[in-house]
Amino acid sequence: MKIDVISIFPEYLAPLELSLLGKAQDKGLLEINVHDLRVHTSDNHHSVDDTPYGGGAGMVMKAQIWGDALDDLITDGCDLIILTPGGRRFNQRMAEELSTKSHLLFACGRYEGIDDRVRQHYSTTAYSDRGIRVHEISIGDYVLGGGEVASMVIIEAVTRLIPGVLGNPESIVEESHMSEGFVEYPSFTKPATWRDLEVPEILLSGNHAAIAKWRSEAAHKRAQDNL
């Protein structure tokens, strides 16, 4: 999978080189490139934003600069993901769907967001005929300073589902959110006693049926407690 991220703070995305994602890139399973939006500015101040039409607080990112940046990177069949708190709420289903794609292009907005004509432009039939899909995605019902951290959340959730990225593929067979409302049972490891707290005895019993039943009930209780 190829991933491009466009931001005015490319350094913010440095963690994409670390851990699992770094290893996946070394293995050639993944190619991630981060691009500086300001490369496309032409004025002395390298300004990327302007005041909103209609008035109101904050600044809006200019369509022309985003258009120039996206034109350079967009490819046939790619998915353009615009990060915004007003977008569709991200979940594991969306991560699964995106993990099957070959090219994801992330546009990290800042301030009051990106001029909406950018979304409109890349949603026209001229692009959909080329297999290009535009998604506006939010990672939750709160407002971040920009889309950078949100794009990293999505990239991490999506790329760990790509075959070969995780060391042990079994670990995604049964995990939280694999189905709606499903959360994983609590886990324990050695020692059996820690600060006077014992591991549930059933887990030491070797009785696989009883363990499965205990885990299912514990997962249920956890899901209930989260409501």
> What is the residue-wise DSSP string for 116-129?
THHHHHHTSHHHHT
Q: How many positions of this chain bind ligand ADE (CB under 6 A)?
A: 12
Q: Are 8 and 37 in contact (CB under 8 A)?
A: yes
Distance (Å, rounded) from C-alpha 164 to C-alpha 24?
8
Which of 10, 32, 61, 84 contacts ligand ADE by CB under 6 A?
84
Which of 3, 8, 104, 150 contacts ligand ADE by CB under 6 A?
150
**DSSP 3-state assignment of 166?**
coil
Which of 6, 60, 80, 139 contacts ligand ADE by CB under 6 A?
139
Q: Which stretch binds ligand ADE (CB under 6 A): 40-48, 81-89, 173-181, 186-194?
A: 81-89
Question: Is beta strand 79-89 parallel, antiparallel or unpaired with respect to 60-61?
Answer: unpaired
Which of 74, 94, 144, 162 contacts ligand ADE by CB under 6 A?
144
Which of 39, 126, 143, 212 contacts ligand ADE by CB under 6 A?
143
**Least separation, in Å, of the C-beta of 191 and ligand ADE?**
40
- Detail the DSSP E strand segments found in the chain: 2-7, 31-36, 49-50, 60-61, 79-89, 103-108, 133-138, 193-194, 197-198
Write each residue from 15 to 54 as x if it is in contact with ligand ADE (CB under 6 A), else as -, in one continuous string: ----------------------------------------
Which of 70, 138, 183, 185 contacts ligand ADE by CB under 6 A?
138
Q: Is 7 in the site for ligand ADE (CB under 6 A)?
A: no
Q: In what order do the strands lie in the sheet with 133-138?
A: 31-36, 2-7, 103-108, 79-89, 133-138
Distance (Å, rounded) from C-alpha 182 to C-alpha 91?
12
**Least separation, in Å, of the C-beta of 188 and ligand ADE?**
34
Which residues contact ligand ADE (rule: CB under 6 A)? 83-85, 138-140, 142-144, 146-147, 150
